[in-house]
Structure 1
Amino acid sequence: MISSTIKHFSSYISLLLILTTHNFIPSHSENCNPDDKKALLQIKKQFGNPTQLSSWDPTTDCCNSTWLGVTCDNFTPTYRVTILDIFDLNLPKPVHFPPSITNLPSLEILSLTRIPNLVGPIPLSIANLTTLQYVTIKQTNISGEIPYTLSQIKTLVTIGFTYNKLTGPLLASLSTIPSLAGIAFDGNQLTGAIPESYGSFPSFFTGLLLSRNRLTGRVPVSLGKLNLADLDLSRNMLEGDVSMFFKSNILTYTISLAMNSFAFDIGKVGLSTNLEKLDLRNNKIYGTLPEELANLRHLHKLNVSNNNLCGQIPNLRLFDESCYAHNKCLCGSPLPACKT
């Protein structure tokens, strides 16, 4: 207890000294690490010096909170750049991923979003970012395969490469990242099967979002070992039995399997009481809807249309006819009454 108190008191004194020293640094001094500043100015140049990055002024300190999208770790003497969050860049011509981004060795968060003229592959040198925890590349025209070196970054917690033009297979070695909690590759042109290795993600892995790609084949049964809070495999060309994702004993919030060729008996699955969204439309799912659906207090989106379902619809007042349409023999409100 005493040693813990001393440790916290020492930390407080250290922080106080840093903040006090900072207040008396002469105006000509900089906190920004010179190597990081050099890398940032190179990034700006590689982006074509867009006006949105005009705050990246070489005469100012990159750690003074005025450089757009740049955040430094101000609680250590090194003042390294730890966050780079760049968005809505209006690039006059197509620009490849700025290679100097990988020269920011202390980066923990990288986000590049809504940059339509960002093109080309993600460089293999992204593995240089050995402290990276969260990476997002969203709504760009980045293309090529997911870099195989990504799995070398053992600190990654989430990977979000959504709505780009990535091609090729899913990276099987992602399952070797010990800290990974979720991946999102929605809205690309990825092909092939979901790797068997994805069933070996860490126990705290909770998000698997792969919708709007060109994935094929059966989903490995090994994925049933995952305790997913959010699952989205919709709008692919997947097939087979995915009943292993339906569990009553875990916190599942969303299951989206729409527009594939999945086939299983929906009447034999378990349902999480936390379920908020269940989208199964346009598959080959059969059986009778489980009565437990009526007990899901958080369910606000349901669509089981265009399947092979039969039998009485549970007492669900929130959903209209379109949510159940085009099934083999579903009946009961809001569809016509069941025949006795």
Structure 2
Amino acid sequence: MTGRDYMERRKFLTAGGLGLAATAVAAPAVAQSMPEVKWRLAASWPKSLDTLYGGCEYFCKRVAEITDNRFQIQPFAAGEIVPGLQVLDAVSNGTVEIGNTALYYYWGKNPAFTFGTSLPFGLNTRQHISWLMWSGGQDMLNDLLKEHNAIGVPTGSTGAQMGGWFRKEIKTVDDLKGLKFRVGGFAGTIISKLGGVPQQIAAGDIYPALEKGTIDAAEWVGPYDDEKLGFVKVAKYYYYPGWWEGTGQGHNIMNLEKWNALPKHYQAAISAASLDTFTWVTGKYDSVNPPALKRLIAAGAILKPFPQEVLEACYGAANEIYADLAKTNPHFGKMYSSLTAYRADSLAWMQVAELSFDSFMMRMRTRT
């Protein structure tokens, strides 16, 4: 689906496709003709993460509101139906009709899934949703999802993420060697290339692994969620930036057969509610992360940037991996070519507009 498709669907919802703008006489007739449909949504998030899982609840509420409660979707947290990292499988085999997840969890099935969430050293939040909706990114992802009997629509994004919690300082690239690091998605292949030992662990299992020393470091999202998960109690060094996630784009993924069987106006409701959820989730994170960071520092977190040497080594390793994959994996090669072309133009524009404005305002922050 392109960005224009989304806009047309929103027009459809508001201009009479669901009867919302129809006359008082016509609206009930349309509502009565709409079938009652009940779906289940499996999420990759525990209920304690009230922005990621809360976004699922918000999405389900919006679908019900748009369809006059005729289309109801019930959300289930990670582990209630399937474990958090098995949502795609549950959607693909029809265990549930819809799931909310990060597609990069499934990079083991195909590395190209990482483009759905965030390519390390890829795009920021605004760039990524733009690439998905207006530069063909989502269409390419859906070509891949089709092979798994699914179709996807982007939902909430976390924004740029933090680099995670470490028991010891990271001063040089050598400090990554042997480091058991919980890191999501495809970034683990880059860590591994530099001698680290990546671990992919669902949110609810990270804290005990870090506490027991099963892992040496862990990243999740950012200050608000990290505070809820308690990482500052067991690891003090809090690094930035999360170079593997300049954004953290979530997706609603639907079983393809169930999706195709839906009335068109219910498909439109999912698309519209998903985009509403993008604004809800991303806006909330931008609101709650700043005070959470202050609280974490007060609780003993030691905020540190990754050394330039480490960032450049990771960047170089990532590009070597991408070059190899682009030659051997058609899905990866097509998406990588598209994303890098988009990124080159977008960065040039953002350097002129966004960066200059943001940099000036950040310098002025302490003067007001």
**What TM-score bracket applies, with the shorter chain setting the length?**
under 0.3
Specify which structure has the higher proportion of helix.
2
Higher relative CO (CA 8 A, sep ≥ 6), structure 1 or 2? 2
Specify which structure has the higher proportion of strand.
1
User: Which TM-score applies when normalising by structure 1?
Assistant: 0.25
User: Which TM-score applies when normalising by structure 2?
Assistant: 0.23
